[in-house]
Amino acid sequence: MLSWLAKTDGVAGAFIKANRHPSGGNCFVLTTPGGKKLAGGNGPQGAEHALKLGFEQWQKLSEAERKNLPPGQEIQPPEAKRCAPPPGGLIVATYVRNLKRDADGKLARITRDDIKDRKRYPDWSMVYTEPARFNLWLTETEWKSLLPAGADRGKVIEVPEPIRRRIFCYHLADGTYGLPGHWQPAHIRSGTMSLTVEETSPLLRLRLRGAALLATDADLAKAHHGYDVKLDGLLEYDPAKKRFTRFDIAAIGDCWGGDWEGGRFKRPGRAPLGVAFQLVPGNSAVDRVPPLVHMDRKQVYDAYFR
Amino acid sequence: MTLGLASPLAQARDDDFAALQRMILPGKGDSRWLGVAWQPASNIWAARQKAAREGKPIFLWYMAGEPLGPC
C-alpha cells in the first residue's frame, strides 16, 4: 500500500500500522472499525483464511466492541485528487478477456477444460479466463469533443488524437494476467478511429470504427508484445439530458506476448483478445478506481491526460 | 458461447457487435469480486465510519503486502 493512502485512515496511518500483515503478494486482513486486527492471510488462500478466522473472532465481540470508533480526522492528501475521476467527466468501464477460436474458427470463451492443455495455456489459472476490469476516464472537454458540430446523418469525424491515443496506449493493453503494461505512443504502428453519424434525433447515434496495430517493435517478428485489433462501437448522446447514455465499444484482435513481467502465461503464436467498453454511473468504488496503478503520481496523471 | 466471426468487426452488424460485447463482458460466475461493497482506498477513514455505523468488520486487501511501504 502507498504511504499516502495509509494516511487517510483518520489517525495518520496508525490504523493501517496496527493492521499490517507479512508480505507475500496480495494480503488480506479482517479488522474492526476501531482497528482491532481479527485475522490475516496472504497468497491464494489468504482471503479465505482471513475471512474464516476473522469472522470467528468477530462473533466473540460485543456490539460495543464492534461499533467502537475512536476519534479521527479526515485527511485528503494531494495524491487523492489525482485518483478521483475528473469533475463532469465520463467513466467507461473496460473489460479485457482472453478468447479462443474453436474448431470451426469461431470466437469463444476459454473454459476450465481448455486450460488443462498446459502447452496452449502455460501455468494458467481460471482467473485468466475471466475478464479483467479497468476504467477509461474522459474529461468533460474531451467527451464533448466527440460531438460533431452540425451533425448530419452520414457525417464522419475523426476521434480526436488525445482520446484515440489514450484508448490505444492504455486501454487496448492485455491486463488479464495482473498489472498491465502500456503501449508507448511509438508502439502505435498504425491506428485509426472515426465516428459516423447514424441518427440525429431523438438521440445522436454515432458508430465508432477503428483499427490499430500495436507492437513493441516495428518489425513484428521482433516485437515481444503486440496486438492487431479492430474496434466497433455505438455511442448515443441524449441532447435533452446533455450527456452520453451509451458508450459501447468492442475491440477484438490477435495478441501476443503474455504478461508484462517477462512474458509469463504466453500462449503459442497469436491468440484472440477482446476488450469491451461500457458506460458506468461512477457511483461505486470499483467504478471510481483510477485507470492506472500509479495515477497518484503527477507524471503518470499528466501523461494519461496529455 | 461462440461467435462466428473469424475476422470480426470489419463487417459486423449490430447483432454481431452486441454478441461480441456480451462474450467479453463478465458472464455468470465471473468476476464475483465485483459484487463486494468495496470502499475507496483513498479515504479509509470514511470506510471506518461507515463500518462503525453499520456494525460491520472491515476487510482490507493489500497489494504487495507491506501497508506502509512504497507499494
Q: Where exactly are the structural domains of chain A?
A: 2-77, 90-305
pLDDT at site B54: 95
**Do A41 and A27 touch, CB atoms closer than 8 A?**
yes
CB contact under 8 A, A32 and B9: no
Q: How far apart are CA A189 and CA A177, in angstroms?
A: 24
Provide mean pLDDT across the span A175-194. 93
Q: How far apart are CA B35 and CA A286, in angstroms?
A: 10
Question: CB neighbours of B28 closer than 8 A, spacing ≥ 6?
Answer: none
The x, y and z cell numbers of residue A171, run together, are 486501454
**pLDDT tens digit sequence for B18-64:** 899 999 999 999 988 888 889 988 899 999 999 999 999 999 988 75
Q: Which residue has the higher pLDDT, A72 or B2?
A: A72
Using CB atoms, pick whichever of B30, B38, B42 lies closest to residue A8: B42
> What is the least distance, in Å, from the CA of B3 to any CA of chain A?
5
**Do A238 and A223 touch, CB atoms closer than 8 A?**
no
Q: How far apart are CA A72 and CA A6, in angstroms?
A: 13
Question: CB neighbours of A294 closer than 8 A, spacing ≥ 6?
Answer: A300
pLDDT at site B42: 87
CB contact under 8 A, A2 and B55: no
CB contact under 8 A, B70 and A3: yes
CB contact under 8 A, B24 and A3: no
A-chain residues within 8 Å CB-CB of B28? Answer: none
**Do A28 and B58 touch, CB atoms closer than 8 A?**
no
Provide mean pLDDT across the span A218-223. 98
Q: What is the ipTM of this complex?
A: 0.91
CB contact under 8 A, B9 and A38: no
Provide mean pLDDT across the span A83-94. 96
**Do A30 and A54 touch, CB atoms closer than 8 A?**
yes
Q: What's the CA dihedral at A295, A299, A302, A306 to 10 degrees? A: -120
- In the three-class reduction of DSSP (H, G, I as helix; E, B as strand; rest coil), residue A207 is classed as strand
The x, y and z cell numbers of residue B43, run together, are 479515504
Whether pLDDT at B12 is above 60: no
A-chain residues within 8 Å CB-CB of B35? Answer: none
Provide mean pLDDT across the span A118-135. 94
Whether pLDDT at A40 is above 90: yes
| Residue A3 CB neighbour total at 10 angstroms | 16
pLDDT at site A26: 79
Query: What integer best gives the mean pLDDT of chain A?
Result: 94
pLDDT at site B10: 47
pLDDT at site A293: 83
**pLDDT tens digit sequence for A58-69:** 999 999 999 999
Whether pLDDT at A43 is above 90: no
CA proximity to A163, closest of A125, A193, A188: A193
Using CB atoms, pick whichever of A6, A101, A109 lies closest to residue B23: A109
CB contact under 8 A, A95 and B49: no
CB contact under 8 A, B71 and A2: yes
Q: How far apart are CA A21 and CA A29, in angstroms?
A: 7
Provide mean pLDDT across the span A167-172. 98
What is the distance of C-alpha B22 from the center of its chain? 16
Whether pLDDT at A233 is above 70: yes
Q: Which residues 184-203 of A have a C-beta within 8 angstroms of B?
A: none
**Do A106 and B3 touch, CB atoms closer than 8 A?**
yes
By CB atoms closer than 10 A (0-12, 13-18, 19+), residue B22 is middle
Q: What angle do CA A29, A34, A38 make, to 5 degrees?
A: 35
B-chain residues within 8 Å CB-CB of A21? Answer: 62, 65, 67
Whether pLDDT at A254 is above 70: yes
Q: Which residue of B has its CA nearest to A23?
A: B65
Residue A172 identity (one-letter amino acid): L
Q: Which residue of A has its CA nearest to B22?
A: A276
A-chain residues within 8 Å CB-CB of B46? Answer: 74
Question: CB neighbours of B11 closer than 8 A, spacing ≥ 6?
Answer: none
Residues belonging to chain A = 306
User: Does A219 contact B at CB distance below 8 Å?
Assistant: no
Whether pLDDT at B66 is above 60: no
**Do A246 and A198 touch, CB atoms closer than 8 A?**
no
Question: How does residue A1 score in pLDDT terms, banded at 50, 70 and 90?
Answer: low
Strands (E), chain A: 27-31, 37-42, 90-101, 107-109, 132-138, 156-158, 188-199, 204-215, 226-238, 243-256, 271-279
CB contact under 8 A, A234 and B14: yes
Using CB atoms, pick whichever of A96, A274, A278 lies closest to residue B20: A274
Whether pLDDT at A27 is above 90: no
User: Does A135 contact B at CB distance below 8 Å?
Assistant: no
Task: Calculate the alpha carbon distances from A299 to A80, A82, A86, A141, A292 in Å.
Answer: 15, 11, 16, 21, 12
Using CB atoms, pick whichever of B9, B38, B45 lies closest to residue A285: B38
CB contact under 8 A, B63 and A252: no
Residue A170 identity (one-letter amino acid): Y
B-chain residues within 8 Å CB-CB of A20? Answer: 66-68
Q: Which residue of A has its CA nearest to B34?
A: A286
Provide mean pLDDT across the span A50-56. 97
Rg (CA), chain B: 20
Q: How far apart are CA A125 and CA A163, in angstroms?
A: 34
CB contact under 8 A, A107 and B52: no
